[in-house]
Amino acid sequence: MPSQSKISNKMNKYLSISQEVKEALEAGRPVVALESTIISHGMPYPQNVETALKVEQTIRDNGAVPATIAIIGGKLKAGCTPEEIEYLGKKGQAVTKASRRDLPVLIARGEDGATTVTTTMIIAAMAGIKVFATGGIGGVHRGAETTMDISADLEELAQTPVMVICAGAKSILDLGLTLEYLETKGVPVIGYGTEELPAFYTRRSGFKVDYRIDTPEELAAAFRAKLEMGLAGGMLVTNPIPEEYSLDPNYINEAIDKAIKKSVELGIKGKATTPFLLAEIKDITGGNSLDANIQLVLNNARLAARTAVCLSNKND
C-alpha cells in the first residue's frame, strides 16, 4: 500500500489529503478511514452530521486520527473538515452515492460523491490508510439468484488491502450467500469476540465466521501478516453491536420483510435499494433501528482506532 511519500504527482491531481491526516501518515501515526454515504444516505439531517462528528471524536478519544472520505468538487478527499461534513449532511441524497464505476465521471465533471464501502476502501488505499470503520458492508441481496444484485463491496474486499471493521453484513441481505461469496474471493471474515456473524442490528445470525479474534493486538497482527505476505485484498472484521442496543432478531426481520416487499412493489432497484430499505425499516421500527445504527457505528470506530494504534505501534 503506498505511503504518502510514494503517491505520484499524477495521483495528487485527484487526491486531496487533509493536513492533519497527511501529517499523521507521514509520522506513522494511526489513522482510521470513515465513509460518507452514512452521512448523505444513511441517516436524516441533522442526526447524520451529529453522528459523523461524534464518530470522529470517538476515534480521537481512542488514540487515532479520523479521515472522513468523500468526493467534493471532483477531488478525492481523505479527511473532511466539519464544514464539508455539514455540507454533505445537508445535501443528503442529492449527493451521488459513488461506487467504483462512478469515480471517473464524477472526477471529470468536478462533482460531489458520497463514498460507499467500496470507494472509501479505494481512496483509503490511495492515501495509505490501512484501517476503515463503517456500519455494515453490502453483500448478496435476497433474490440475487434472479436479480444478480450483488454489492461491489465484496469485489473491493477481494482486491484492495484495507481492513474493514463493521457490524457484519446488513441484515437486509442474504447472509449465507454473502459469506459464500467472500469465501470464494479469499476474504478472511473475522468475528471480534464471537464465532457467529453479527447481522448489523442484531448480534446473531446463525452463520459462522472464519475465525474468532478477541483483542485489537491480534487483529493488527493478522492484518500485518497478510500485508507482509503480499496477499491481495482486505480483511473483514465483524464486531457485534453492543448487547444493550441489539434488536430482537424476529422483530427486525419482520420489519425487513415488510420493507423488502414494499421495495419490490415500488420497483426499487440497484443502488437505491439499501437507502430505501434502511429508511423504511427506521419508520417501521419507530426509530429504534436508527438508534441501533448510531451505536454500532460508534462501537466499530472504537475498535478500529484501537486496532490502528496497535498496527502503528508495531511498525515503529
The residues annotated with a catalytic role in the active site are 35, 170
Task: Please tell me the predicted confidence (pLDDT) of residue 314.
Answer: 64
**Those residues with Cβ within 8 angstroms of residue 145's Cβ, 6 or more apart along the chain or in another chain:** none
CA 176 to chain centre: 20
| Bridge partners (DSSP) listed for residue 32 | 66, 131
Residue 204: the pLDDT is 85
Instruction: Report the predicted TM-score, pTM, of the whole model to 2 decimal places.
Output: 0.90
Predicted local confidence at residue 4, as pLDDT: 42
Contact 227, 204 (CB under 8 A): no
pLDDT (0 to 100) of residue 2: 43
Ranges assigned E (strand) in 118-265: 131-133, 163-166, 189-192, 211-213, 235-238
Q: What is the pLDDT, as a whole number, of residue 99? A: 95
Domain ranges of the chain: 4-315
Q: Which residues contact 169 (CB under 8 A, 6 or more apart)?
A: 136, 137, 138, 139, 175, 178, 197, 199, 200
Phi and psi at residue 20, to the nearest 5°: -65, -45
Amino acid 179: pLDDT: 96
- The contacts of residue 154 (CB under 8 Å, 6+ apart) are 137, 138, 139, 140, 178, 181, 182, 185, 187
Domain 4-315 has CATH 3.30.420.10: no
Q: For cell 471532483, what's the residue? A: 74
User: β-strand 65-72 against 75-78: which pairing, if any?
Assistant: antiparallel
Per-block mean pLDDT, blocks of 10 residues, the chain (316 long) = 46 89 97 96 90 98 98 98 98 95 96 97 97 94 79 96 94 89 97 95 92 98 97 97 90 83 85 77 78 93 98 74
Determine the pLDDT at residue 26. 96
At 29 the pLDDT is 98
For the chain, the C-alpha Rg in angstroms (whole number) is: 18
pLDDT value, residue 143: 79
Residue 87 phi, psi (nearest 5): -60, -45
